[in-house]
A and B are shown apart, each in its own frame.
Chain A
Amino acid sequence: MSILGTRVLRTEDPRFLTTGGVYTEDVVDERLVGACHLFFVRSPIAHARITGIDVSGAQAAPGVVAVFTGADLAELPPRKGFPMMNQEMFQLPLATDTVRFVGEPVAVVVTEDPYQGEDATELVSVDYDPLPAVIGYPAALAADTLLFPAAGTNVTAEFGNPGKKQDDLFDGCEAVVTATIVNQRVAPAPMESRGAAAVWGDDGRLTAWIPNQGAQGTLGSLAGQLGVDRKLIRVITPDVGGAFGAKFGADPEVVVVAWVARQLGRPARWSETRYENLIAMTHGRAQENTITIGGRRDGTVLAYRLEILQDAGAYPRIGAILPSLTILMAPGPYAIPRAEAWAKVVVTNTTPIGAYRGAGRPEATATLERAMDLFAAEVGADPAEVRRTNLLPPFTEPHKTAFGALYDSGDYVTALDAALAAADYPALRREQAARRERGDVLQLGIGLASYVEITGGGDESGPPSENATVEVHPDGTATILTGTSPHGQGHETAWAMLASDELGIPVDKITLKWGDTDLVPEGGGTGGSRSLQQGGAAVQQASQELIEVARERAAQELEASAADLVFDVDRSAFAVAGDPDASVPLAALAREERLLVRTVFTAPGATYPFGTHVAVTEVDTETGKPFLRRLITVDDAGVVLNPLLAEGQRHGGIAQGAAQAFLEEVVYDADGNPLTASFADYPFLSATEVPSFELTDMATPTTYNPLGAKGIGEAGTIGATPAVQNSVVDAVAHLGVRHIDMPTTSQRVWAAMRAAQKEA
């Protein structure tokens, strides 16, 4: 019986549970003995010229090895802007004349002992000449103050044709609704903050331990920023305590760690505090979307316009490109005949925006699903029926949308029906009606979200692919090298399952290696929910190819023709067909010559998982406080390899999606000071705010890989956010409330109820 599709417990767990994972701060290595410790001096002001830095006080403090400023780093290669962005807009690893967000690194103090670092950092004196802080879209677009005078604008990029609207887009629409919907800035806040350890060897090579989502990409980023040949860098990825999209590449601080190690000729380590993490790790989302949705009174949507304003933060990074994905997924799972979308990306004096679980797609779904509810309310239709009316019918041949997305397979109506059935939607509506009739204090809201999302897309370099090397050892164990980069997803177990299924070697005898660029020089890392459909497929493919290589050896060994041999997975041995005793174990075929295969699996393109979420929320109408009671989801990402792991991914995604809807938000004041820079102030989701989730399974395979798998990692987030937001609005819709922006805090709900009351 195949192990695929079964709930295999994680082989990596025993160490995580007892001795603990070995994260970057935990790494003990003889090469790092005698390391010095870095502490960054960061700008306390959102926008200013630096008029002077006095490091003398810090230099004299106990344990201080050195203090460096931006001037010391002048030897590094000139900086460039992020691809597709205005090239005048780039960040120096340490600011020299201008700081553009609170938290931007300005200087670095290096000490013998970590405890001395914070002491000495306080002694660095920086003089700032304040400039007006550009906060919010109106200020950015008005451009009274430019973050980068040389750019002549605060607009760093545009996608589509901003402002160019088709006049006749809404012709024939009986009902049209326009709204501005905020997709607020959130903090990825993985439990492990950023850090790095770096040392240059006598051979002139840099070895850097960095928590990251793809060592190969991080190496390239580091090489470019240091101006060093790629061959001179080795990146090692220790255990990573969560990433969620914010640990790709090499952040400015990491470049400084590597530079300091070279400058001082000794190992250097850095570990950021949570305060630093909440203000200097990239944030997520930060879009403001204006939608216009129109259609007939029978609930048919005919047209949809999406106008996106994306805040890039002070220095454009990957977050600034994500609106292109939002545009790509604008029509979602619906058959909307006419749609247009564009995006404008601006810089503001805030933390740069990066990728965060979903990366551009949650924004598309959150906005579209809010729009669907607004349209449903406008035409007086049930939100479930409006969705059913407009969802694309099931398809098994790829379906191309007007926005250029090629959906591989989909059955959106079945997902909707399954979620509604699991929720017992009619019973919920009856309960809601009864409470409204009675005027209960605790009102019930039901929120829906149907979604489709894109996973595993390729890039400019070609169709998506991933490599794997599988080797069988004479002792009967096996090793896999993967280009993926797990940070909680369980690849050690999952990839072992795939190899085990082909090789007949038990899962616990298979070791996975990743994230060390000397061992695995190529790889796409883990993000965009690509790993199973490409990395896993590569492992399976390599295992299958290995069996064929082994078959030839077995034929020689058994003096039979390869065609007469059967591989018995249960015995992990080749045998002559019809003569089981004439056999040779697979491991034995590795004795004389190494038995390994490296392969690259190439997918035809991205895959499109989909689903429907139903959220049930109670709102205390006296205080406005929403209580999330139930989250019922269908997340169809094709064939499931390990239900335990898939459910875990769904749970985690759902929780983060829900958290954005009703709880979390990064807040700046008008001067650009962050107000949510600790876990006491940033309302990070705890166990008491969410219920246990109700997962319904559905698996519509894809033909894009032999596993039939799409990506599950971000789907939960994408569906949960609008379902929860819609449920809060729905709970008070009978009082006249049409929209509440996220997070739907108690105060916002209460204010919305009061405003609706006044209007009535």
Chain B
Amino acid sequence: MIPASFDYLAASSAAEAIALLAEHGDDAKLLAGGHSLLPMMKLRLATPEVLIDIGRVEELSGITTDGADLVIGATTRHAELAASALVAELAPLLAHAAAQVGDPQIRHRGTIGGSLAHADPAADLPMALVALGGSVVLRGPDGTRTVGADDFFTGYFETALEPGELLTAVRVPGAPGQAWGYQKFTRRANDWAIVGAAAAGGRIALANMGPVPVRARAAEEALAGGASPAQAAELAAEGTSPGEDIHADRAYREHLARVLTRRALDGQAG
């Protein structure tokens, strides 16, 4: 119920955070909103010896544009994302996804960087980023690189972040007026998705249908080939490897993937 002991360091800049990461290596974890990490630490599923708090690093916050892209600082809270007029205009799917995360208290604390780095395949923002074809900006001792969403999530709670790297920002191509759809199927409102589906610009991403947010490529290709949403959605489960748990077995998850994909493609409400 309470974390194991650790040392706490507060970074005042991205450079300092990276330096501290280099210094402490595997013993350290970054702390932003803490709403992915602290719950794990309280259950002692994670026991870092050092926490590097980047919650007050100014340069990691803020929502701006860069050309046609939306650029979102890693420590932007879900609530801020959900309420941003800029995001609502340029990538409304992202604003909507942020508004689905957990509950209001969690949204006041959780950050986009933290959520993406945590890489829960059942979560809202990883799925949304994949559906939007966004990318993350990673900065390490050797410099900065950008990794596309399709390449960023590499496994179950695993990402392309190298040791010592900091996720500094998220880039999403602006697409004002583009149709989009989002479906999150849960048992209770503030649960993680049993299955989720997000669609935008011909891309379809699924949550909790495998170890990472999966692209429903067969469905995407059918759509691109002129199939109707209903026809394309029939192929949504292809290439997925959903797990089984107390909420759903494999067959049911595959069925939900098809139904939710069709609804997301239809851009349905409720």
Considering only residues 190-237 of chain B, those with a C-beta below 8 Å from chain A are 190-191, 194
Whether A688 lies near B188 (C-beta < 8 A) is yes
Considering only residues 9-47 of chain B, those with a C-beta below 8 Å from chain A are 44
- A750: CB under 8 A from chain B? yes
- A747: CB under 8 A from chain B? yes
A115 to B44, CA, bound (A): 13
Interface size class of A (residues with CB under 8 A): 20 to 34
- A675: CB under 8 A from chain B? yes
Whether A688 lies near B2 (C-beta < 8 A) is no
- B85: CB under 8 A from chain A? no
Q: Within the complex, which residue of A622, A676, A685 is in contact with B259, where a contact is CB–CB below 8 Å?
A: A622
Whether B185 lies near A688 (C-beta < 8 A) is no
- B269: CB under 8 A from chain A? no
Q: Within the complex, which residue of B2, B44, B249 is in contact with A747, where a contact is CB–CB below 8 Å?
A: B249
Considering only residues 426-469 of chain A, those with a C-beta below 8 Å from chain B are none
Considering only residues 663-701 of chain A, those with a C-beta below 8 Å from chain B are 663, 667, 675-676, 680-681, 683-686, 688-689
Whether B246 lies near A663 (C-beta < 8 A) is no
Q: Within the complex, which residue of A119, A667, A675, A745 is in contact with B187, where a contact is CB–CB below 8 Å?
A: A745
List the B residue with the shortest CB-CB distance to A662. Answer: B187
Instruction: With both chains docked as a complex, state the minimum distance between the C-beta of B80 and any C-beta of chain A, in angstroms.
Output: 23
- B160: CB under 8 A from chain A? no
Beyond A118-B1, A667-B246, A747-B247, whether A623 also contacts B259 by CB under 8 A is yes
Cβ contacts under 8 Å, B249 to chain A: 747
Cβ contacts under 8 Å, A676 to chain B: 246
Whether A745 lies near B247 (C-beta < 8 A) is yes
Considering only residues 165-191 of chain B, those with a C-beta below 8 Å from chain A are 185, 187-191
Whether B246 lies near A681 (C-beta < 8 A) is yes
List the A residue with the shortest CB-CB distance to B260. Answer: A623
List the B residue with the shortest CB-CB distance to A685. Answer: B188
Tell me the interface secondary structure of chain B in the complex: loop
List the B residue with the shortest CB-CB distance to A39. Answer: B1
- A746: CB under 8 A from chain B? yes
Whether A119 lies near B4 (C-beta < 8 A) is yes
Cβ contacts under 8 Å, B256 to chain A: 623
List the A residue with the shortest CB-CB distance to B252. Answer: A747
Whether A689 lies near B2 (C-beta < 8 A) is no
List the B residue with the shortest CB-CB distance to A274. Answer: B1
Q: Interface code A593-636, partner B: CB below 8 Å = 1, 0 otherwise?
A: 00000000000000000000000000000110100000000000
A115 to B42, CA, bound (A): 11
Cβ contacts under 8 Å, B194 to chain A: 746
Interface size class of B (residues with CB under 8 A): 20 to 34
A274 to B185, CA, bound (A): 26
List the A residue with the shortest CB-CB distance to B195. Answer: A623
- A161: CB under 8 A from chain B? no
A751 to B248, CA, bound (A): 11
Whether A119 lies near B246 (C-beta < 8 A) is no
Cβ contacts under 8 Å, A122 to chain B: 44
- A263: CB under 8 A from chain B? no
Cβ contacts under 8 Å, B4 to chain A: 119
- A556: CB under 8 A from chain B? no
Considering only residues 102-143 of chain B, those with a C-beta below 8 Å from chain A are none
- A273: CB under 8 A from chain B? yes
Instruction: With both chains docked as a complex, state the minimum distance between the C-beta of A656 and any C-beta of chain B, in angstroms.
Output: 15
List the B residue with the shortest CB-CB distance to A684. Answer: B188
Q: Interface code A624-657, partner B: CB below 8 Å = 1, 0 otherwise?
A: 0100000000000000000000000000000000
- B255: CB under 8 A from chain A? yes
List the A residue with the shortest CB-CB distance to B262. Answer: A622
Instruction: With both chains docked as a complex, state the minimum distance between the C-beta of B123 and any C-beta of chain A, in angstroms.
Output: 13
Considering only residues 232-270 of chain B, those with a C-beta below 8 Å from chain A are 245-249, 252, 255-256, 259
List the A residue with the shortest CB-CB distance to B249. Answer: A747
Most central of B5, B249, B256 by chain A CB within 10 Å: B256
Beyond A663-B188, A683-B187, A686-B190, whether A273 also contacts B252 by CB under 8 A is no
A681 to B245, CA, bound (A): 10
Whether B189 lies near A750 (C-beta < 8 A) is no
List the B residue with the shortest CB-CB distance to A114. Answer: B2
Instruction: With both chains docked as a complex, state the minimum distance between the C-beta of B237 and any C-beta of chain A, in angstroms.
Output: 14
Whether A686 lies near B255 (C-beta < 8 A) is no
A-B contact pairs, 14 of them (CB 8 A): A119-B4, A122-B44, A623-B255, A623-B256, A623-B259, A663-B187, A663-B188, A667-B246, A676-B246, A683-B187, A683-B191, A686-B188, A746-B248, A747-B249
Chain B contact residues, CB within 8 Å of chain A = 1-2, 4-5, 44, 185, 187-191, 194, 245-249, 252, 255-256, 259
Extra inter-chain contacts (13) besides given A122-B44, A275-B1, CB under 8 Å: A623-B255, A623-B256, A625-B185, A675-B246, A676-B246, A683-B188, A684-B188, A688-B188, A745-B247, A746-B187, A747-B249, A750-B255, A751-B252
**Which 7 A-B pairs give the minimum distances between C-beta atoms?**
A688-B189, A273-B1, A622-B259, A747-B252, A667-B246, A683-B187, A686-B188
